[in-house]
Amino acid sequence: MRSDRRRRACRALFPCLMAAAGAVIAPGLLRAQAISEPAAAPPPGATAPAPVIAPPSVQAPTPAPAPVTAPPVNEPVIRTVGAVSYVCGGVGEDEQRRLAARQKQFNMGVLFTQGASGEYLADVEVRLMREGHEVARFRTEGPRCLIKAPEGRYNVHATYNGQPKSMTVGTGTYDAQLRW
C-alpha cells in the first residue's frame, strides 16, 4: 500500500520537476517505460494514472561533409621521388600549354620522340642518374617531361619497346630530346 502511494506521488511530482528544470513536456509524445516490474492493471472502476512523460532528447545536427574537389581533367600530376620532382604529358595541344605554363617550376625538360618526323612517345621507362647513382625512376605519361632536381648534370637512361637510349642533361636545359 505504501509503495503505491510513493509511486503515485512520484508520478505526480515528476512533471513538476521537469517543468522546473525547463523541459518542455508535450502530452502523448513519450510513453512511460517500466524498469523492473510490470505495471499493474488499475482496479475496476479506477482511472489509470497519467503516463510519465520524459523530455525528448535533442541531438546536435551533424555537419555536412566538406565537398570533395577533383583535380581538373587531364591536368598533369607532379610526382616526387626523393629530391627530384617531375611531370610528364603534352599529348595534346591543351596539355602542351599547361606544361609550358608550369615550366618555370622546373629546371630541366626532355622530349621523347621516334622516327624522322618526330612522332611523340609516351610510356617510356626513364632512369635519372647522377654520379652513377639512380636518383629517380619513372614511366612517362606523355612525350614531354619537366624535371626539377638539385643543380648539376644528369644521365637520362630511357627505354622504349626494349630499345635503350641515353644522354646527359644539365639543369637549365629544357630542349633535350631522345629520338628512337
pLDDT in tens, 73-123: 667 789 999 999 999 998 888 899 999 999 999 999 999 999 999 999 999
| Stretch 35-60: mean pLDDT | 60
Coil, strand, or helix at residue 81? strand
Q: Same structural domain for residues 104 and 169?
A: yes
Q: Is the residue at 114 inside a domain?
A: yes
Q: How far is CA 165 from CA 112, 160, 168, in A?
A: 10, 8, 11
User: Is the residue at 86 inside a domain?
Assistant: yes
Instruction: Flag whether 27 is in a domain.
Output: yes
- Whether 100 and 136 map to the same domain: the answer is yes
Write down the pLDDT at residue 76: 76
Same domain for 100 and 47: no
Pair (107, 35) in one structural domain? no
Whether residue 145 is contained in a domain is answered as yes
Asked if 95 contacts 101 with a C-beta cutoff of 8 angstroms, the reply is: no
Residue 111 and residue 28 share a domain? no
- Asked whether residue 69 is assigned to any structural domain, the reply reads no
Question: Are residues 98 and 104 in contact, defined by beta-carbon separation less than 8 angstroms?
Answer: no
Q: Domain check: are 96 and 169 in the same one?
A: yes
Identify the residue with better confidence: 38 or 149.
Answer: 149
Q: What residues does 87 pair with on adjacent strands? A: 146
Single pTM value for the model: 0.59
123/70 Cα distance (integer angstroms): 24
17 lies in a domain? yes
Answer yes or no: do 44 and 90 share one domain: no
| Same domain membership, residue 139 and residue 100 | yes
- For residue 97, which amino acid is it? R
Higher-pLDDT residue of 73 and 16 is: 73
Q: Indicate whether 22 and 92 sit together in one domain.
A: no
Task: End-to-end CA distance of the chain: give it in Å, rounded.
Answer: 104
My answer on whether 35 and 92 are in the same domain is no
**155, part of any domain:** yes
Task: State how many domains the chain has.
Answer: 2
Asked if residue 120 and residue 37 are part of one domain, the reply reads no
Q: Quick one: 97 and 134 in the same domain?
A: yes
Domain around 42: 1-54
Task: Answer positive or negative: Cα dihedral of 16, 17, 18, 22.
Answer: positive
